[in-house]
Amino acid sequence: MTAVTEAPPPLAPTAPEAKPPRRRGRLTPYWLLLPGILWLVVFFALPMIYQASTSVQTGSLEQGYKVTWHFVTYWDALSEYWPQFLRSVLYAAAATVLCLLLGYPLAYLIAFRAGRWRNLIMILVIAPFFTSFLIRTLAWKTILADGGPVVGALNALHVLDVTNWLGWTSGDRVLATPLAVVCGLTYNFLPFMILPLYTSLERIDGRLHEAAGDLYARPFTTFRKVTFPLSMPGVVSGTLLTFIPAAGDYVNADLLGSTDTRMVGNVIQSQFLRILDYPTAAALSFILMAAILVMVTVYIRRSGTEDLV
Amino acid sequence: MPFVTWLKRHLVVIAGLLTLGYLLLPNVVVTVFSFNKPKGRFNYEWQRFSTDAWKDPCGVAGMCGSLSLSLQIAVWATLGATALGTMIAFALVRYRFRARGAVNSLIFLPMAMPEVVMAASLLTLFLNMGAQLGFWTILIAHIMFCLSFVVTAVKARVMSMDPRLEQAAQDLYAGPFQTFWRVTLPIAAPGIAAGALLAFALSFDDFIITNFNAGSTVTFPMFVWGSAQRGTPVQINVIGTAMFVLAVLFVLVSMVIGNRRARSKA
C-alpha cells in the first residue's frame, strides 16, 4: 500500500531526494494527524469493536444484553440467511462484470477517441452524481415498468423467454425480478468503474499503440497485448469499487426487487432497524465484512497489483 | 461491405456512447416526469404535460425542509472532512514517521468497507453511548466516511508537487508560514477543491449511513426513500432535474474560468 507514496515525485526527476523540506519539529506530523485519526479511531475503529462485542451477546431489549460469548449466533445467522448472502455475492459479481463490459468502451472512448468532446463526456459521466441516486433509481421503476417500452421490446425480441427460463425474470415483467436488481446495481456503480479505468487508460503513452501498429499488430491484438494489460490497475480498482458497495447495497434490492431478491444488506437493515435483534444483525454484518475482506485480499493477490492504494 | 468496416472502425465509439446513454437515461426520465401531471399518488406513468410542480417546488410538506437540512449537513461535513483530511494528507506525503503503514490502512479501510457495515457499527456505538440520534450523529458519520476520500484526493495532488518550489521560497527568505500560505497552499488547492467537492456530493447523497444514524431526523435522501413507499410527488423530479442542471452548469463555468486563467498565464 505504501509503494506508491515512497516513489519520488514525478515532476522532479532530478531532485536530490524527496526529503521533507522542513526538518524542525519531529512532532509536526503527529499534530497534523491527531484530529483526523482520532475521528477515525473513535467513529470507525471503536464502533467495529462495539459491534464485535454485540455479536456475542445474548439478552433482550427489555432486560438488556450481556456478553456471553454466544458464538452460535454466527452459525444461526449463516444457516438462516445463506440464500441472501449467496444472492449478494452473485448479484454484485454480475453487476461488476456488466460494469466492466459497459464501462471499458466508454473509458476508452474518453481517453483516446473523444478529442475535444472529452470534457463534455466527462461532465456527463460525473453530473448524475449530483442528482440524488435514490431519485435516479426510482426512475428505473418507470423505465422498466410492466407494459413499458423496455419490457415490450424484450418481449418482442423473445429475450424475456430466455431470461424467464434462466430464472432472471418471471412472467411478463422485469420489475421485482433479479434482472431489475442487477440492472439497478450496474447503473448505480458504473461511474465507479469508469473513472479508475479512464485514469489508468489516460496514462498510457499513445506511442505504444503506434509501436504495436508498426510491428504489424492488428488493432485487437494491440488491445489484448498492450492496452488491456497496461490498464490493469484501473480494472482492479474499478472492480473493487463496484463489487464492495454492490454486495452491501440494499436500496436497489428494495426499490427494484421483491422479497425473492432480498440481499444481505436488506436483512441487516431490517434486523437493525425493525426487528431490533442486535446480536444477529451485528453477526451478519461481521460475516459480510469478513467475506468481502477475504475475497478482496485473494483478488488483489491474484491480480498482482498490491500497491494500488 | 462498407457498412461492416465502418461499424468495425467505430465499434468502441458506438459502445461507449450506448453506455453514456444508459448512464443518462434515468436523468432524462427524471426531467421528463418533472413535467408530468400524475393522476394518483405515484408518478410512474405519463399522464399529461404540466409545469405545476416547477411553479411550486416546495408544495410538498417536509420536502424543502429536508433539502435544507441535507445542504447544511453537507456543508459542515465538507468543511470538517476537508480540514481534517488535508492535514492527514500533508502529514502522509511530507513526513516520514513511525506508524505510517497503520495510518495508511486506517485511511483505506473505510473506503473498502460496505456502507451497511459501517452504518450498523456506528449505530451500535451510539446506542451504547446513549447518544441522541439526529443532526449531530449524522454529521459525525458523514465526516467519518468523507475523510478518506478527501485524503486520497489531496494526497494525489501534493505527491505530484515539486518540493524544490518550497525550497526556493525558503531560499528567498520566506518563513514557514509564508511558504505555506503563498506557495504550498495555492499549488495544493485543486486537490483540496476536488476533495471538498467529492465530500459534498457524497454527504448530500448519502442514504445508507444516514438511514441508520438519523433517528427521526429526515434528510433529503430519506425523504425520497419514504416517499417511494407513500407515493412520490412530482416535486422530487423537479429537484432532481435542477440538481443535474446546476451541476453541469457549475462544472462548465469552472472549466471556462480555468481555461481563461491558463490562457492568461501562458
Q: What is the pLDDT along chain B (266 residues), one digit of tens a residue?
A: 678 888 888 889 999 999 999 999 999 999 999 998 887 777 777 878 888 889 888 888 889 999 999 999 999 999 999 999 999 999 998 888 888 889 998 998 998 899 999 999 999 999 989 899 999 999 999 999 999 999 999 998 888 888 888 888 888 888 888 888 888 888 899 899 999 999 999 999 999 999 999 989 999 999 999 998 888 889 999 999 999 999 889 888 888 887 787 777 65
Question: Average pLDDT of A242-263?
Answer: 93
Interval A285-303: pLDDT, tens:
999 999 998 988 888 888 7
Residues 51-110 of B with CB under 8 A from A: 84-85, 87-88, 90-97, 100-101, 103-110
Give CA–CA dist B118/B209, Å, rounded: 7
Expressed in percent and rounded to 5, the helix, strand and coil fractions of chain A are 75, 5, 25
H-helix or E-strand spanning residue B192? helix B185-205
State the DSSP code for A8: P
* B116 at A interface, C-beta within 8 A: yes
Interval A139-159: pLDDT, tens:
999 999 888 888 888 888 888
| CB-CB under 8 Å, A106 with B20 | yes
Is B120:B213 a contact under the CB 8 Å cutoff? no
Residues 124-183 of B with CB under 8 A from A: 124-125, 127-128, 140-141, 143-144, 147, 151-152, 155, 159-164, 166-167, 170, 176
pLDDT level of residue A6 (50, 70, 90 thresholds)? very low
Q: What integer pLDDT is reported at residue A300 of this predicted model?
A: 83
Q: What integer pLDDT is reported at residue B64 of this predicted model?
A: 93
Shortest CA distance to A124 belongs to which of B136, B70, B244? B244
Give CA–CA dist B210/B205, Å, rounded: 10
* A272 at B interface, C-beta within 8 A: yes
| CB-CB under 8 Å, B243 with A35 | no
Is B195:B83 a contact under the CB 8 Å cutoff? no
- CB contacts of A292 in chain B (<8 Å) are 112-114
Residue of A nearest to B27 (CA): A136
Q: CA quadruple A180, A184, A185, A187: dihedral positive or negative? A: positive
Count CA within 13 A, CB hemisphere, residue B161. 26
- Integer Rg of chain B from CA: 23
- What separation in angstroms does the CA of B232 have from each of A24, A284, B205, B241? 59, 32, 18, 15
Shortest CA distance to B147 belongs to which of A77, A33, A275, A266? A33
Interval A89-136: pLDDT, tens:
999 999 999 999 999 999 999 999 888 889 889 989 988 888 889 999
Long-range contacts of A217-223 (CB under 8 A, 24+ apart): none
The ipTM, to two decimals, is 0.89
Q: What integer pLDDT is reported at residue A309 of this predicted model?
A: 42
Annotate A41-90 with DSSP letters as a single string: IIIIIHHHHHHHHHHTEEEETTTEEEE---THHHHHHHHHHHHHHHHHHH
What are residue B82's DSSP bridge partners?
Answer: none
Q: What integer pLDDT is reported at residue A3 of this predicted model?
A: 40
* A137 at B interface, C-beta within 8 A: yes
Residue that has been written with the C-alpha cell 509501436 in this structure: A211
Interval A8-60: pLDDT, tens:
444 444 444 444 544 556 788 888 899 999 999 999 999 999 998 888 888 77
Give CA–CA dist A245/B70, Å, rounded: 22
- Integer Rg of chain A from CA: 24
